[in-house]
Structure 1
Amino acid sequence: MQAVSEQLNFVKVPVIITLVFWVIKILATTVGETGADFLIFNLNIGLSTTSMIMGGLLLVVLYFQVSAKKYIPWLYWLSVVMVSIVGTLMTDYLTDELDVPLTLSTTGFTIALLISFGCWYKVERTLSIHSIFTFRRELFYWAAILLTFALGTAAGDLLSESVGLGYVVSGLIFAGLIGVITAGFYLFNINGVLAFWLAYILTRPLGASIGDYLSQLPMDGGLGLGLGTVSTSAVFVVTIIALVIYLTRSQIDVLPINNSQSEIRGN
């Protein structure tokens, strides 16, 4: 018990997964979708240039994240937002620049994510987010998260655009799947690590569907509300900042270290 408590002092990511965590995750996902579109289309710097710029910025942010000695909410969530944008750009680049079909990119990112998890587990014998207290584990963690964003983008675009279900129907499908996973975790005691990563993957296409629906013009049968990427991104960024300030002050996502709480389901 004491060893677990000491290790948790060095965990670099949120330990208590609250509703606020998932709200920020979905908002960050939406910002990744609308933010990438804003940089590409509104600023007219193109997909390739945007990808290079954001990729470089992601490396800078992740450098500070992995160099930190403890979990810092604003730095962690800035990293998530940056990963969200770059993950979106990865899929968009494959689709728009290299003409890779979404079915192929979805399959490819699924395989890549499974390989990432396989390597992580083979080396560390755990995939639990409650065990991210070493440099190597954090690298595995961020690599997996990047692939979840790329996969979520591809899967979301596949359903909403290629299959033609639209943003609302696609969003409802992903929301329903998240609901099933949540019920399985709380009612049927399914493995916590499995439930977390499945939900993490699915919140990406859910957030992307929300972002596309809010921002894109109501064309081709009314696909979006036409609020624009600027307005949508601005509102969501402000909301993220407010919630991160709340997390910083309340520390509700930091585990109180004592013997009764040092065991976490799914570890």
Structure 2
Amino acid sequence: MQNVEKSMSKVPTITVGFWAIKILATTLGETGGDTLSMTMNWGYLAATGVFAALLLGLVAIQISARSFRPSLYWATIIASTTAGTTLADFATRSLGIGYTGGSLILLGLVLGSLASWRLALGTINADDIRDSRAEMFYWLTITFSQTLGTALGDWLADTGGFGYIGAAGIFAAGLLFLILLYYRTNVSRIILFWAAFILTRPLGAAVGDFLDKPIDKGGLDFSRPLASAVLALFIVVLIILLPQRAGTHSDPGAPVLK
């Protein structure tokens, strides 16, 4: 029982504060990834290598940690979203897969990760992280979802022709629909969690692109490093001010997917 409590305590309780920080983190992932790959001219592949190495190091520390540490958890989330940004850009642009093809491939990877997780451990409950295997599936799924979110954001804004604000509005509407399902239906809370987790990423991607892309391309042309610094500051403030509690089992009476 002691080992179960130890590993479960390393993920946060899902609250409104969690989603606020998550959206800011995904927006930072877009501006931060673009800062290294575009502003600093490292290119998508080199930037992906840097962020992937950082992500792997943080995941290793996260898995070996004895308890939930908010700063470590959110640093790992940010690393996953910046790595996802540059990896998606490399796949869709440098490899020529395109936003549609990239989104479909990445969606398959997310669903494959979730299916493998459920087959291996019997649940995909993000609150029910019992051991290092569950944590590895957790972070793998998160990284794939962050990468998918970048491709989806670009696909809707560019290929779909909705622009950054239009795309952000559509993804925000999708999140509102999930909130309605949460309060008005018995849809599995686990399914709703992962759907919301995926949708917050393209929302952040669209907002991040709107902040830093040139005006003639529909953006505000803000400095990417400055925007990234401001977003990081907001995240730090929210982590300090908002309750950061370790996650627990889902309510036994709530619908679950096992």
Alignment TM-score, normalising by the size of structure 1: 0.90
CA distance in 2, matches of 1:263, 1:15: 18
What is the aligned partner in structure 2 of residue 231 from structure 1?
Answer: 226
Map of 1:208 onto structure 2: 205
The verdict on how the C-alpha distance between 1:130 and 1:256 changes in structure 2, with shifts beyond 3 A counting, is closer
Q: Which residue in the other structure is 1:81 paired with?
A: 78
Give me the whole-angstrom Cα distance separating, in 2, the residues matched to 1:117 and 1:109: 12
Specify the code of the residue in structure 2 equivalent to 1:265. Answer: A
1:13 Cα deviation after fit: 4.1
In the TM superposition, what is the alpha-carbon distance from 1:266 to its structure 2 partner?
4.4
What is the match of residue 23 of structure 2?
Answer: 26
Which of 32, 45, 61 pairs up with 1:35? Answer: 32
Q: Aligned equivalents of 1:12 and 1:207: distance in 2?
A: 27
Q: Distance between the aligned counterparts of 2:18 and 2:129, measured in 1?
A: 17
* Corresponding residue number in structure 2 for 1:108: 105
| Residue 48 in structure 1 maps to residue 45 in structure 2 | yes
1:246 matched residue in structure 2: 241
Residues 9, 248 of structure 2: 8 Å contact kept: no
Deviation at 1:42, TM superposition (A): 2.0
8 Å CA contact 1:10–1:133 kept in 2: the answer is yes
1:65 matched to which residue of 2? Answer: 62
Question: Equivalents in 2 of 1:115, 1:95: separation in Å?
Answer: 20
Output the amino acid matched with 1:204. R
1:246 deviates by 2.7
More displaced stretch, 49-58 vs 202-211: 49-58
Q: Letter of the aligned partner of 1:167 in structure 2?
A: Y
Aligned equivalent of 1:162: 159
Measured in 2, the distance between the counterparts of 1:10 and 1:150 equals 26
Gaps in structure 2 of 5+ consecutive residues: none
* Structure 1 residue 44: Cα displacement: 2.1
Alpha-carbon distance in 1 for matches of 2:39, 2:154: 21
CA contact (8 A) 1:15 1:255 kept: yes
Aligned pair in 2 of structure 1 residues 142, 256: CA closer, same or farther (>3 Å)?
Answer: closer
Q: CA deviation at 1:46?
A: 2.1
- 1:12 offset after TM fit, Å? 4.5
With over 3 angstroms needed to count, the CA separation of the structure-2 counterparts of 1:224 and 1:128, relative to structure 1, is same
Please list, as runs of the form range in 1=range in 2, the aligned pairs for 1:117-132 lying within 5 A after superposition: 117-132=114-129
Corresponding position of 1:265: 254
Q: How far does the alpha carbon of each residue in 1:192-247 deviate from its partner, in whole angstroms, 9 at most, with x for none?
A: 00000000000000011111111222114xx1122221221111100111112234
Query: Would the aligned equivalents of 1:216 and 1:228 in 2 still touch at CA under 8 Å?
Result: no
For structure 1, the 5+ residue unaligned runs are none
Question: After superposition, what is the alpha-carbon deviation per residue over 1:173-199, rounded to whole angstroms, capped at 9, x for unaligned?
Answer: 000011001110111132100000000
| Partner Cα separation in structure 2 for residue 113 and residue 191 of structure 1 | 18
Tell me the matched-pair count.
Answer: 256
- CA–CA distance in 1 between the matches of 2:248 and 2:175? 28
Is 2:12–2:68's contact at 8 Å kept on the other side of the alignment? Answer: no
Preserved CA contact (<8 Å) 1:159 1:166: yes
Residues 14 and 264 of structure 1: is their aligned pair in 2 closer, same or farther, counting only changes over 3 Å?
farther
Tell me the CA shift for residue 69 of structure 1: 1.2
Question: Any conservation in 2 of the 1:167–1:212 contact (CA below 8 Å)?
Answer: yes
Question: Structure 2: how far apart are the matches of 1:180 and 1:134?
Answer: 33
Identity percentage over the alignment?
Answer: 33
> What TM-score does the superposition give when structure 2 sets the normalisation length?
0.93
Question: Residue 23 of structure 2 contacts residue 203 of structure 2 at CA under 8 Å; is this kept in 1?
Answer: yes
